[in-house]
Amino acid sequence: MLITNIGELTTNVPSGEDRLGTVTDAAVLIQGERIAWVGPAAEAPAHTDVMDAGGRAVIPGFVDSHAHLVFAGDRADEFEARMSGVPYAAGGIRRTVAATRAASDDALRRNLRRLVDECARQGTTTIEVKTGYGLTVHDEARAARLAAEVTPEVTFLGAHVVPAEYAEARDDYLDLVTGPMLHAVAPHAKYIDVFCETGAFSPEEARRVLAAGIEHGLVPRMHGNQLGPGEGVQVAVQMGAASVDHCTYLSDDDVAALAGSETVATLLPGVEFSTRSPYPDARRLIDAGATVAIASDCNPGSCFTSSMPLMVALAVREMRMTPSEAVWAATAGGARALRRDDIGAIAPGMRADLVVLDAPTRVHLAYRPGVPLIDSVYKDGVPVA
């Protein structure tokens, strides 16, 4: 299929000063699951199956590199209390753990699929899904298995919080996470994650969890520096994490460590929005030379939105990113955070994952916040929304 008459095409293939490789009056040829040709519409190869984009903008599909979608129940009451002044704390996770353990496989699967569809309708073509609301060997393995039904990007987050039944025996829980639980989950997962924060796991504990995962062939990532300053970022960089996520409270040393590493700083502005917290400073990270991604962190506690267009708008309005930087971070940045080199750009050989916007430019994603601007979505060359 040839998509032609694209008013503004964002390829993410750098061209001169333009990191997003913008082509105006463009066309894209899709063959099977892959992109076959990209260039000016006037030079496009002749094709019988033609889709006229009508001057609309086309961008790579969003790569949402951080989401918690295997869960039951919601915490609207907690959100309401927070909006009346009760601060966010890591402990709310245990409520979702109780609801998730009590849910049937089918109930979890239905909720997961509903959310993945919701993401697709908003332009997300790749999503990472974490475990972390089971916290028993059986429930974590079940979450990973269900997640693997909908995405190859599955993360083991047994170290989300110490479950209530281990409150007096943290070390025993760590033995479980780094032993039998890891054994049961690793076959279904690609990454290992840990919530390194006051109220969750210490830097030493985080190191132990990530090291165990690495030994099992998993790629490390981390929740760090969300609720206050700490050693999370330094541990993540030292362990070669693909990404450290949240990065809300960073010291100059943290920024320098990220800038001098391959570890992506993944910012999750929906969390600050939904917990009424100060936003991370993306400008400082980008100016220092760090690679920045943005993701939804969709979860029932700290941020119950799956909207990547909203993340782009928040990144621009609240984190001092330009619209182009935010779109890059939500596409190519997410691909870097997942260490994928076949998504996040529109170029020959890449997967045919792209979004036609109901707008003439990508800037409209931030310029028209809250407006449904997703016209159509292709994943592996197939329309999914």
Length of the chain: 385
The secondary structure of 301-353 as a DSSP string is TTB----HHHHHHHHHHHS---HHHHHHHHHHHHHHHTT-SSSSS-STTSB--
> Given candidates 64, 205, 297, 353, which one binds Fe ion under the rule CB under 5 A?
297
Q: Is 92 in the site for ligand NIG (CB under 6 A)?
A: yes
> Given candidates 151, 291, 299, 331, which one binds ligand NIG under the rule CB under 6 A?
299
- Write the CB contacts of 200 (distance below 8 Å, at least 6 apart in sequence): 90, 159, 160, 161, 162, 223
- Output the smallest distance, CB 270 to ligand NIG, in A: 9
CA angle, residues 131, 134, 139, in degrees to nearest 5:
100
Q: How far is CA 165 from the centre of its chain?
A: 30
- Which partner from the list Fe ion, ligand NIG, none does 195 bind, CB cut-off 5 to 8 Å by kind? ligand NIG
Nearer to Fe ion, 8 or 297 (CB): 297
Q: Bridge partners of 356?
A: 58, 376
Asked if residues 311 and 280 have their Cβ atoms less than 8 Å apart, the reply is: no
Is residue 354 within a helix (H) or strand (E), and if so which, with residue range? strand 354-357
Q: Pick the piece of the chain touching ligand NIG (CB under 6 A) from 90-98, 175-183, 255-263, 367-375.
A: 90-98
Question: Site map for ligand NIG, 197-236, x if CB under 6 A?
Answer: --------------------------x--x----------
- Output the smallest distance, CB 177 to ligand NIG, in A: 15
Q: How far is CA 198 from the centre of its chain?
A: 23
Count of residues near ligand NIG by CB under 6 A: 13
Strands 129-130 and 154-159: parallel
Q: Is 301 in the site for ligand NIG (CB under 6 A)?
A: yes
- Which partner from the list Fe ion, ligand NIG, none does 271 bind, CB cut-off 5 to 8 Å by kind? ligand NIG
Residues 267-286 that bind ligand NIG (CB under 6 A): 271
- Which partner from the list Fe ion, ligand NIG, none does 82 bind, CB cut-off 5 to 8 Å by kind? none
Residues that bind ligand NIG (CB under 6 A): 68, 92-93, 96, 195, 223, 226, 271, 297, 299-302
